[in-house]
Amino acid sequence: MQNIPLKGILLMNLAMLLLAGMDGISKTLAVDYAVPQILSVRFLIFCLFALALARPKSLRAAFRSRHPYLQIARSLIIVIEVAVFILAFRHLPLADAHAISGIAPLLVTALAVPVLGEKVGPRRWSAIAIGFLGLLIIVRPGIGVFNPAALIPLAGACLWAVYQILMRKVADDSAATSLLYMAIIGALVMTVLAPFFWRPPDATGWLLLLSLGVVGSLGHYVLIKAFQAAPASTLQPFHYIVLLWAAVVGYLVFGDVPDIWTIVGAAVIAGSGLYAFYRERLLVN
């Protein structure tokens, strides 16, 4: 395992840029195509990528799991989570959706107590409370400007948090095993659903669908390489750079400019999340 922090940080930033670009393509496609159709192509390409990554000689070993039922549940949850976020991108600017979803790491910390039996001290509970305050700043319920569509990425953030908790439960499986389960189950589920929603794409539609699969697969691959280059503790804070990339992609492609409340709320959520992570590192070290 390498330990080259600068390389890992650069790869993490590139991965977040690719994933923000993937979300931009998803938002464009969601205007004309149903979510199952979009995801069927994305997961089929992702499945080919995962199979190539596992290599034929080690494919049988990669399918072996100590927790097959948890792997299936985890994979179904991530499929639903991805679908929920594409739906969110249809109704909200990218930056707004990502700002709301930034609450997910704090939800993971809160869920780790009852599900994983982890201990969370008063400072990290305070960070979680402040993070929810940031969420309220963004959605602003009860003051006449609340957008019900904000509940969609919030639901996605809850699903993403549960997914990460399940990832910890199956952590003794290999990365290739987790990747294969997710890719194959996603491809199977969406391939079954897609014919009921299929709309023949034009040339631009096919280009966008294929680009979505390629960019998404590259984003996950670069993310894996980032974690191979540097420790997770070094890279975790850079997950929040996706908020910046989402704002940039949203502005350049769709002309969306986050309002001041979204910026303030995102800063509060990111700050509280980074503080919670900092406290966790102190306890680990």
| Residue 139 identity | V
Position with higher pLDDT, 206 vs 160: 206
Q: How far apart are CA 243 and CA 145, in angstroms?
A: 22
Other C-beta atoms within 10 Å of 60: how many?
9
Nearest one of 20, 45, 86, 26 to 186, comparing CA atoms = 45
Mean pLDDT of 248-263: 87
Q: What is the mean pLDDT of residues 2-14?
A: 80
Structural domain for 195, as ranges: 5-284
The confidence score (pLDDT) of residue 201 equals: 94
pLDDT score, position 4: 73
44-79, pLDDT tens digit by residue? Answer: 998 888 888 776 657 777 778 888 899 899 999 989
Tell me what pLDDT residue 271 has: 84
More confident residue, 284 or 220: 220
Residue 141 confidence class, pLDDT cut points 50, 70, 90: low
CB 54 within 8 A of CB 177: no
Q: pLDDT, tens digit, for every residue of 104-134?
A: 878 887 887 787 777 777 887 888 888 888 8
Q: Report how many domains make up the chain.
A: 1
φ/ψ region of 144 (left if φ > 0, alpha if ψ in -120 to 50, else beta) reads left
Give the pLDDT of residue 41: 93
Helices (H), the chain: 5-30, 35-54, 59-63, 68-91, 94-101, 104-116, 122-139, 151-169, 175-193, 203-229, 232-235, 241-249, 260-284
How many Cα atoms sit within 13 Å of 255 on the Cβ side? 0
What's the average model confidence in pLDDT over 170-183? 80
Band (pLDDT 50/70/90 cuts) for residue 2 is: low
